[in-house]
Amino acid sequence: MKRSASAHLELEALGPAELVLSVTVAADADATELLRIVQNGQTLPYRETLDQHGTRLQLISVQAGRIDIDYTVEVSGATAAPEVSDIDIVRYLRPSRYCESDHLWPTAQAEFRGLTGIALLDAITSWVGSHLSYVPGASLPTDGAVRTLLARQGVCRDYAHLVIAFLRAHDVPARLVSVYAPGLSPMDFHAVAEAYVDGAWQVVDATGLAPRQSLMRIATGRDAADTAFLSSAGAAVLLNVLTVTAVADVLPRDDVTQPARLG
């Protein structure tokens, strides 16, 4: 399967600032890509680094004014499955900023008692998908899994946070992944959950908005705090325009009863 994606951002920096960008596909992808950052007609240099979760980050120094960021990528074939370390298991079992599995432990135990493995993963994904309503703009950037459960509505990251929190409450390592998602409508950056089940990271999407087999990994982390596509330090930076595209030459039909892996 050949997949391609693009992201266009128009920013306005109100003063000198340091940007942290996360829009490029994961380092293990077989990809042809181009990233260009322009301010005042000049192409800005950037430094790239990997965070502790293996996500590629671009670090950019900007001055006051408009910044245009354009990224295009074409991915051929599947990506290699990353090795799983002991620290991965520890990190993704613990409660985190947006996935308060300790607070949700009683609910998770009551709703999914006695289930393990793929059966537990399927039950949690189905429960979240059927008990939440997808409502753009309904949640705040500071909302975590607890508030999502109470509100019973949200967007993709809210669905993923609740899935992750329920899984961790059942001692299943789980993490959030930001992705390009061919087939997604309306098109945007997308968020899904990965759970370490039966010796492999299995991807689930309680929204059901895009086929899992076509997803392209961008960032991986404990929750949305680790996977933001843009953050800044210094002066305020306004996001004025965001346009995302993602297509596949053949869009798979996703059988949600079968396990799937990001690739």
Quick check: bond before 173 cis, omega within 30? no
Are the CB atoms for 6 and 242 separated by under 8 Å?
A: no
Write the pLDDT tens digit of every residue in 33-67.
999 999 999 999 999 999 988 899 999 999 999 99
**Domain 2-78+231-245 indexed as CATH 2.60.40.2250:** yes
CB atoms within 10 A of CB 130: 8
Q: What is the 3-state secondary structure (H, E, C) of 68-117?
A: EEEEEEEEECCCCCCCCCHHHHHHCCCCCCCCCCCCCHHHHHHHHCCCCH
> Is residue 96 classed exposed, middle or buried when 0-12, 13-18 and 19+ CB atoms within 10 A define those classes?
buried
Instruction: Inform me whether the pLDDT recorded for 261 exceeds 70.
Output: yes
* Residue 78: per-residue pLDDT: 66
- Range(s) within the chain of domains with CATH label 3.10.620.30: 86-212
Q: Give the residue from 97, 105, 84 showing the smallest Cα distance to 202.
A: 84
- Range(s) within the chain of domains with CATH label 2.60.40.2250: 2-78+231-245
Confidence of residue 121 (pLDDT cuts 50, 70, 90): very high
**236 residue type, one letter:** A
What is the arrangement of strands in the sheet containing 47-50, beginning at the earlier edge strand?
Answer: 47-50, 56-62, 17-21, 230-234
Fold classified for 86-212: C8orf32 fold (3.10.620)
Regarding pTM above 0.85, the answer is: yes
Write the pLDDT tens digit of every residue in 155-205.
999 999 999 999 999 999 999 999 999 999 999 999 999 999 999 999 999
Write the pLDDT tens digit of every residue in 11-35.
999 999 999 999 999 877 788 999 9
Find tokens 């892996």 and name the residue: 261
